[in-house]
Amino acid sequence: MILNTQPGCAFDNIVVYLTTMDKLDTLAALAANLTDILSAEDRYQRLLDVLHKAIPYDAATLLRVQGDTLIPLAAKGLTPDAMGREYSRQMYPRLDIICGSTEPVLFSKDSPLPDPFDGLLIKDPGASHQIHACLGCPLFVGQQLVGVLTADALAPGAFDHLPLQFLKTVASMAGAQMQTADLLTALEKKAERNGQIATDLMQDMLLQKGRKILGKSKAMEDLRREIELVAKSDFTILVLGETGVGKELVTRAIHNHSHRKNKPLLYLNCAALPESLAESELFGHVKGAFTGADNDRTGKFELANTGTLFLDEIGELSLGIQAKILRVIQEGEIQRLGSEKMIHVDVRLLAATNRNLAMEVTAGRFRADLYHRLNVYPLTVPALRERKDDIAILAGFFAERSMTRLGLGAVRIGKEALQLLHRYNWPGNVRELENIISRSVLKASSESNHKDIILIQPNHLAGDLGAAIYTNPAPSTPPLPEAFNKISLRDELKSYQIRLINSALEKNNGNWSAAARDLDMNRSNLHNLATRLGIRRKRAHHTKNG
């Protein structure tokens, strides 16, 4: 033990008042604290309570070292305001001496150095220089100083009987207590964050539950009926359709109408999964199964037990992985990579692909037996060009969502803009429509001048749908709604082209190059089109007479 230079505090002739049983009981209690599940505050307070059985203090504190400042974590026997203070090493030399030591420090009862807790003892509040016995223990984790434990007593010789080795052990265990508390606090914070993430995911799932498949076309009404019918079974479902049609939304709807709706729905995009990781991701692995497998890992099938697993783009998986998925469907068993143990799982499998799996089977890229297992009840999501009656509904939904995300006022879609949306053939389907509406809302908002209503006009769509303005609809495009069949398409297109070009020219003060850029056209092509439509002749005449 390091002593202050003041006389009268040598430990060479210690009279041992602390019995062996007292020491063992105290150390046992400290050890028990390390394994108990306690909050940091409770852990620190219990540490001081346990020490009081062996160290006859009138006041004790546990302080954390933060640079040159000591912050109280727990106190016993001090007035409440002691916990609201911060103790600087520069202002309190006794604390500085303790922090600079590697062993417990017992200060002489005659030391002239001020005690940081003078006047703060509950037994003698407000009194100055009344603390006669002062003991301090630096607390280390490894070689790093993390805290200080202090004990004060009004009786001058209160700590003279304490063995040095006992105090060293106490200090070591107190440091371990702080480390344990810090680790648990960090884990609690991480768990809280993960819990929040889980909550957000659950909220997202609830929002998805509340989302209906939009559309009133016959194709979508038929699809909804199919979903409600097949959801009641536990059949494996294969959802087919082009990219962007909404296959994931269909699988969510199947899950949400099933008896597993309160169980997890897990999603895995097989196209984004490297082949080297696919087996581990799906079935899990045990520690040491391959280089880098430092821990056991639970796969998606096991995590989805009693729930639903949605494998998007299943046609991208290798034949070897396909064979293992077939076993899960047939036997309800999985085997973690590197393990010989079979694990039973109860999972409903939903799969989706934009590939023609029948052709993939013929080409040898997809297992025929798995295809037939998946194809128990196929559902085909129609392309957007096959349900153009739903475009206005979908466009309104996406416009409203963009309005909310951007914090805008009311957003409306003009009649001519809707007509243009109906003419387009939508190779990217609903996803493309969502992207185009999002961009058009942003463009329209930049020109709104803070008006109450933001109106989407054809020029806001021109960059995306420019080609649709100058070409007739594709032969495979179904007839337009009745309201559009009453108008000559050729006359309507010509009239619209004239209005759109004139609008672009007026916006750019007659600058043809700038107008061409706005219309996403080559300047020479714009000149040629304007000549055919008679726009250049009229504008030239207007300029000459103006």
For residues 282 and 336, the answer to whether their CB atoms sit within 8 Å is no
In the predicted model, is pLDDT for residue 384 greater than 50? yes
pLDDT of residue 127: 57
CB atoms within 10 A of CB 478: 13
268 and 127 share a domain?
no
Instruction: Tell me the residue type at 454.
Output: I
- Angle, alpha carbons 108-114-119 (nearest 5°): 110
Instruction: Please check whether residue 13 lies inside any domain of the structure.
Output: yes
Is the model more confident about 27 or about 168? 168
Instruction: Please check whether residue 201 lies inside any domain of the structure.
Output: no
Is the model more confident about 399 or about 187? 399
For residues 454 and 410, the answer to whether their CB atoms sit within 8 Å is yes
Model confidence, pTM? 0.51
Q: How many domains does the chain have?
A: 4
Instruction: Please check whether residue 192 lies inside any domain of the structure.
Output: no
| Number of alpha carbons in the 13 Å side-chain half-sphere of residue 286 | 10
The CATH number linked to 63 is 3.30.450.40
pLDDT of residue 222: 92
Instruction: Please check whether residue 492 lies inside any domain of the structure.
Output: no
- The 3-state DSSP class for residue 519 equals coil
| Cα end-to-end distance, the chain, whole Å | 104
6 and 53 share a domain?
yes
Buried b (16+ CB within 10 A) or exposed e, 119-131: ebbeeeeeeeeeb
For residues 282 and 316, the answer to whether their CB atoms sit within 8 Å is no
Residue 224: pLDDT band by 50, 70, 90 thresholds? very high
The top-scoring range by mean pLDDT among 242-251, 267-276, 407-416, 464-473 is 242-251
The CATH number linked to 284 is 3.40.50.300
Instruction: Please check whether residue 263 lies inside any domain of the structure.
Output: yes
220 and 347 share a domain?
yes
pLDDT of residue 186: 62
pLDDT per position as a tens digit, 4-40: 434 334 343 333 444 555 555 555 555 555 455 556 6
In the predicted model, is pLDDT for residue 250 greater than 90? yes
Spatial distance between the Cα atoms of 364 and 419, rounded to a whole number of angstroms: 45
In the predicted model, is pLDDT for residue 48 greater than 80? yes
| DSSP 8-class letter at 81 | G
Spatial distance between the Cα atoms of 296 and 284, rounded to a whole number of angstroms: 8
Range of the domain at 10: 2-185
Instruction: Please check whether residue 199 lies inside any domain of the structure.
Output: no
481 and 507 share a domain?
no
392 and 306 share a domain?
no
443 and 527 share a domain?
no
375 and 390 share a domain?
no
460 and 538 share a domain?
no
Instruction: Tell me the residue type at 205.
Output: M
408 and 360 share a domain?
no
Is the model more confident about 294 or about 546? 294
354 and 392 share a domain?
no
pLDDT of residue 379: 93
Q: Which of 168, 185, 202 is the last residue of a domain?
A: 185
In the predicted model, is pLDDT for residue 529 greater than 50? yes
In the predicted model, is pLDDT for residue 156 greater than 70? yes
100 and 245 share a domain?
no
Q: Which long-range contacts (CB under 8 A, 24 or more apart) does 503-511 make?
A: 503/459, 504/459, 504/462, 505/539, 507/459, 510/539
pLDDT per position as a tens digit, 392-440: 889 888 988 888 888 877 888 888 888 889 888 898 899 999 999 999 8
171 and 277 share a domain?
no
Instruction: Please check whether residue 203 lies inside any domain of the structure.
Output: no
pLDDT of residue 541: 56
pLDDT per position as a tens digit, 440-485: 888 888 876 656 678 888 888 866 675 554 444 444 444 444 444 4
Q: Which of 358, 382, 406 is the last residue of a domain?
A: 382
Instruction: Please check whether residue 200 lies inside any domain of the structure.
Output: no
pLDDT of residue 542: 55
